[in-house]
Amino acid sequence: RSGGSSFSGSNNGDQLWKKLWKAECPEKMIHSMWRVSHNSLVLRVNLKRRGIKLNPCCVLCERFDEDGAHLFFQVQERQGGLG
């Protein structure tokens, strides 16, 4: 298994994912949670790591690198908002 998930090597994590895959919710929601936990979303930091030349800064706040933790839990829109 690839690293990136805090659950990737544990039996508890395996059990959690088995329950999540069987959950009665949209499959794309479960797939998104899996991608977030395995750091496989198409985010600026991941693209740069894969060799694409771009500025890794978050397009919303323009202050920090755009990774999953920042985008989903820490981002605060820049002064004035987006619209």
* Token digits of residue 41: 């979303």
Average model confidence (pLDDT) for the chain?
77
Eight-state DSSP code of residue 32: H
Asked if residue 75 has pLDDT above 90, the reply is no
What is the pLDDT at residue 3?
Answer: 45
Largest CA distance in the chain: 46
Q: Round to whole Å and give the CA distance between 45 and 2.
A: 18
pTM: 0.53
